[in-house]
Chain A
Amino acid sequence: MAVVLDKSHRWRVAAAHVGLICFIALTLAPFLMLLSISLRPGNFATGELIPTVISLDHWKLALGISYQGADGQLIEPDFPVLGWLWNSVKVAGLSALIALLLSTTCAYAFARMKFAFKPQLMTSLLLLQMFPSVLVLVGIYAIFDRIGTYVPGLGINSHGGLILAYTGGIALHIWTIKGYFETIPTEIEEAAKVDGASPFQAFRYVLLPMSLPILMVVFILAFINGINEYPIASILVQSQDQLTLAVGSKQFLYPQHYRWGDFAAAAILSGLPITVVFLMAQRWMISGLTAGGVKG
């Protein structure tokens, strides 16, 4: 690095750093507030950022441990927060897996196969999913209500139904994966076909291993969506032990009493699985997987 730099360069770098630090502080502030609220005694939204007294009551409640209240009474946790977390992980994980399976095969068809109305189908996929799901909530409810009469495991108030509902939203994933497939030279699969591979084998042994990074990205996006989703989960799942964390933690907030502290602890908890999944997936999200296959 021996590039000649302008004299003002140092100041511009410094200014850029100041700007970036401000920006990071701005993004981190809500999270830090949340952390602070979850550690403060009492259920107040406002207050100092660094609590003077640290109380683990909210966390004990969230983790299902009973604790002694201010009046000396033993307080039992009233909500199964850890159960909700598990529900969220289960629903998000399974729906992300199924979504990945469907969108990968679908994207393969769109990227590699020839059939009539391909562009129209691609566009309509995207158009249909542009409507916010909130607008069709009633429809979704009616459909799953009906499904439930035939297959109870997929009806209202079942995780199967919720997974099925989430799996429907794969149009964007199909577009994402298709875009990636199209950057992979077709010669490599052709070579596999001449080598004796059936189309499925060429897909499974050659195309998929080269597409790992985008598959991981799509899995994470689908997983995050599953953890965060509120509207559909709020109508499809009703009994308390079946709720996902996103819907369940809303129960801490009722008009007479906003239990901000408990809510904050539950909210931070919901971020955990996302972080874990991201850290695990990261090792596969590397570039250059296709390097060396063809002359660049």
Chain B
Amino acid sequence: MAREKKVHNPLFHVVKREPLPFLPALGIRAAAVVAALIVSALVITVLSQQNPLEVYKSMFEGSFGSSVRIWNLALNLAMLLCVSLVVTPAFKMKFWNIGAEGQVLISGLATVACMFFLGDQFAFLGDKKPYVLIPIMLGASILAGILWAVLPAIAKALWNTNETLFTLMMNYIAIQLVAYFLKKYVKSGSGVLEPMPQHGLPVIGDMDYLLSILIVLALTVIVYVYLKHSKQGYEISVVGESVNTAKYIGINVKKVIIRTLAISGAIAGVAGFLLVGGINHTISTTTVGGRGFTAIMVSWLAKFNPLTMIITSFLIVFMERGAEQISSDFNVDPSISDILTGIILFFIIGCEFFLQYKIVFNKNRKEEV
């Protein structure tokens, strides 16, 4: 009775896998980075007709070629890490804050305003000036960051307003405020504010940025401990996993949302303070330079673990620096660095698939009926 008919089975299907142990997971990620490097080199080779090995060399030199570059790498890493710390507590709570860019920028504006308006006023204090000015800068910066982060949080808590868009719009408002400040107070009308290192953070030894880097490292550890071992951190995890569970055990969800974003904002305040007071000593609309968005990927790739974020931000900063170096060494348009960063991100993000799923090839079954 059975008609002879060939049965076609799909060649493979995808199944979810058990969580991988540490080493194989690391292996997959490493493979993704290698693949990203190969593709990047290919792109550069095509665009610039260079030997791929030269490309790698240039890339490596971009980060480690000289002590200045190493410092630059460390500094950029620290700043990206710091901005990533801004978004992490909120993300852990599943609050999609994509406004770190604006939160940091507005803090920077607050810092620069203190330097600009108060810096010379306190000149009479002489050597003691930093003891007065720096705390004021930091305080203003933190307040500005908190304001920028807490407004969307309040709306979210009270009316469940879409936080992604709200925080995004706050970015542009911050940018316009900076533009306004520059237009209004830069006497030359050029819109470029001269750096004011005399009002900036003190320098440890000869190393300009060391203090900032150390502060970021300390902050990383603090945020790690806060999220992992404090009661408030536990509340953040519970709210992030399930709002219903949080309510069930009596957590005031609204309070936690607002409190957590206030903390995010405070970290943004520190980031803006370091960026302006410790490093640039001035401000422009691009001072944060897209770190607010890159930070989201840093944080997500590290599964919101601040210690792991050191590695992921290193990876991204290393790639970015390398890409910049390539574009200048081989005379390719600087936009190539954005393209390479994009490619690299796609590979690192894409490899998550292989961490969570596996492909099963179906055995050919040919049993006769």
A, B from the same assembly: no
Which positions in B face A, CB cutoff 8 Å? none
